[in-house]
Amino acid sequence: VIKCKAAVAWEAGKPLSIEEVEVAPPKAHEVRIKIVATAVCHTDAYTLSGADPEGCFPVILGHEGAGIVESVGEGVTRVKKGDTVIPLYIPQCGECKFCKNPKTNLCQKIRITQGKGVMPDGTSRFTCKGKQIYHFMGTSTFSEYTVVADISVAKIDAAAPLDKVCLLGCGVSTGYGAAVNTAKVEPGSTCAVFGLGGVGLAVIMGCKIAGASRIIGIDINKDKYARAKEFGATECISPQDSKKPIQEVLVEMTDGGVDYSFECIGNVGVMRAALEACHKGWGVSVIVGVAAAGQEISTRPFQLVTGRTWKGTAFGGWKSVDSVPKLVTEYMSKKIKVDEFVTHTMPFDKINESFELMHSGK
């Protein structure tokens, strides 16, 4: 058993607490990882808020991390001690019907136990002050050591800087994949990206790499426009600058609507606007943002009858074990940006401040 520091969420709505936790050794088909770097994501904050119906407490959150394999359990062949890895919140077992289908990346092998905050055998590897602590998204990267299923880990280039490539565990991969895998953006197309946070910027990057000729960034926070343009946005607009609904503004700006739109916020009203900003006959709108539980989307069916397509994406459609190492290689060869997404690098015990920075849009 390893004793180490972790940021524990004891209950919903309270700040994380830095505690000493015990991390049990990995059982069969499990891997214990020394986490070197982790990022914070709105998904962690959503669960911490108490709004997530799958949220279990006390829990160690975090799902954007990178580290080194410390030890492996019986039967693990995919990785070995000393390997550089990224934990995966969507695993890839290679055996279930989802993994065998090229149309999806949503491996279901450990979905039920992962959603309940435990390892595939139904137990936890974390304890603190004598209490069992739940796992989160199969990763729990807010701990100096974590244990994950062997299908939830990708071995990557040992030369990769872990404080950067941890972002490929969620946000950057999600946005980039939404553009190149889910929407399949084509050269010369016009795109609109709603929400210019990390995921939105990654979508913009993907649209640019795919050869889009016009990329319109949409956000009420104008402080985000300069960075969006660095990533490839050709122009940025705010919905608050017009009395008309934003979809009408976009339809006028683009002679009938955009070819591709992306919702990167998780707001059901914005999801509707993103669909209705698409061009009649061929426009495709991709939902990337995760709305709160129980919320519903609506539009007039005529929007779809007249040729628009509504799609969604999780982790950008990437089959995780196969794709994350390739994404790291693309970053190392400078095909995709990752460094530019990092605004602040902070010590682990300042994790609550990093969430404050995220909520303030900084």
What are the boundaries of each domain within the chain? 2-169+319-352, 174-314
| In the predicted structure, residue 310 carries a pLDDT above the cut 90 | yes
| In the predicted structure, residue 264 carries a pLDDT above the cut 90 | yes
Q: State mean pLDDT over 181-191.
A: 98
Sequence-ordered strand ranges (E) for 24-125:
30-39, 59-60, 64-72, 84-87
Q: What is the pLDDT of residue 53?
A: 84
Q: What is the pLDDT of residue 351?
A: 97
Domain 2-169+319-352's class? alpha beta
* Region of residue 117 (left: phi > 0; alpha: psi -120 to 50; beta: else): left
| In the predicted structure, residue 51 carries a pLDDT above the cut 90 | no
Residue 25 is given by DSSP the state P
Q: What is the pLDDT of residue 293?
A: 87
CA neighbor of 139 nearest in space, from 33, 292, 16, 289: 33
pLDDT level of residue 15 (50, 70, 90 thresholds): very high
Residue showing tokens 């050591």: 145
Whole-number average pLDDT of the chain: 97
- d(CA 321, CA 90) in angstroms, rounded, equals 9
pLDDT level of residue 239 (50, 70, 90 thresholds): very high
Name the percent of the chain lying above pLDDT 70. Answer: 100
Q: Cα dihedral sign for 258, 283, 276, 191? A: negative
pLDDT level of residue 229 (50, 70, 90 thresholds): very high
Provide the 3-class DSSP secondary structure of residue 149.
strand
Q: What is the pLDDT of residue 212?
A: 98
What tokens were used for 259?
């070819």
Q: What are phi and psi of 291, to 5 degrees?
A: -80, 160
pLDDT level of residue 113 (50, 70, 90 thresholds): very high
Q: State mean pLDDT over 21-35.
A: 98
Sequence-ordered strand ranges (E) for 188-281:
190-194, 214-218, 235-237, 260-263
Q: What is the pLDDT of residue 361?
A: 84
| In the predicted structure, residue 316 carries a pLDDT above the cut 90 | yes
Q: Do domains 2-169+319-352 and 174-314 have the same CATH topology?
A: no
Q: Are 41 and 65 in contact (CB under 8 A)?
A: no
Q: State mean pLDDT over 158-176.
A: 98
Q: State mean pLDDT over 164-177.
A: 97
pLDDT level of residue 308 (50, 70, 90 thresholds): very high
User: Kind and range of the H or E element at 311?
Assistant: strand 309-312
Q: What is the pLDDT of residue 54?
A: 83
| In the predicted structure, residue 333 carries a pLDDT above the cut 90 | yes
- Identify the burial level of 159 via C-beta atoms within 10 angstroms of its C-beta, where 0-12 means exposed, 13-18 middle and 19 or more buried: exposed
Report the side by side order of strands in the sheet with 235-237: 235-237, 214-218, 190-194, 260-263, 284-287, 309-312
Name the percent of the chain lying above pLDDT 90. Answer: 97
Q: What is the pLDDT of residue 56?
A: 94
- d(CA 18, CA 15) in angstroms, rounded, equals 10
What tokens were used for 204?
């913009």
174-314 homologous superfamily = NAD(P)-binding Rossmann-like Domain (3.40.50.720)
